[in-house]
Amino acid sequence: YAYHLASFTEEYPASIWYNARKNLKIALVNNFSFKKAALDIEKETAYNIIRQNREARGFPLRLTWQQVQTTAAVIPADFFLVENEAAIEVAAAIVFHVAAGIVQVIYWGDLPEYANLKTMNFLSFKVFEHYHQLNIKIIDIGPSTEDSIPNYGLCEFKESIGCSISCKFSFSKILS
């Protein structure tokens, strides 16, 4: 899935599915704040929020914190946090700059106990807004399958926030 930022305008809420629009409105009244993590401790907090989300949902987290750090030393990466009014970090995203004009959401998630506040709708909106302001062209939101089996709930969420299906090709060469 990918989001093409050329379609991100002030009319974004009107362009998304009704349910996503309703959830974004719910999130916006909760006075969340969105920030780019600058300190290593904030970046690790972002990772830990995502780890807790994955554990609660039974989804794998393939990279350890150390592996994320090692990768981010080579590939530029942004870490984002969403805080509630009590300054509790409730959602996070880790995004890599994978090519000129293209970023990829490597991981994102919220703390399960705050999901009812629609933190993911807020997070996705703010990530889109952030990269639109930087003139990024495409946000690769990543796959929605596990071993080629679709996660239909995840597919629906991504489509509801305006993402479109995109194919990822893999190429291999057999050396003999």
Please tell me the distance from the alpha carbon of residue 22 to that of residue 80, in angstroms, as a whole number: 23
Please tell me the distance from the alpha carbon of residue 64 to that of residue 139, in angstroms, as a whole number: 23
Q: Are strands 145-146 and 149-150 parallel, antiparallel or unpaired?
A: antiparallel
Please tell me the distance from the alpha carbon of residue 93 to that of residue 109, in angstroms, as a whole number: 7
pLDDT of residue 158: 77
Residue whose C-alpha is closest to residue 123's, from 13, 59, 28: 28
pLDDT of residue 60: 85
Q: Is 87 helix (H, G, I), strand (E, B) or coil?
A: coil
In this prediction, the residues of the chain whose per-residue pLDDT falls under 50 are none
Q: What is the CATH number of domain 2-160?
A: 3.40.630.30
pLDDT of residue 153: 72
Question: Max alpha carbon distance in the chain (Å)?
Answer: 61
User: What Rg value do the Cα atoms of the chain yield, rounded?
Assistant: 16
Tell me the domain boundaries of the chain: 2-160
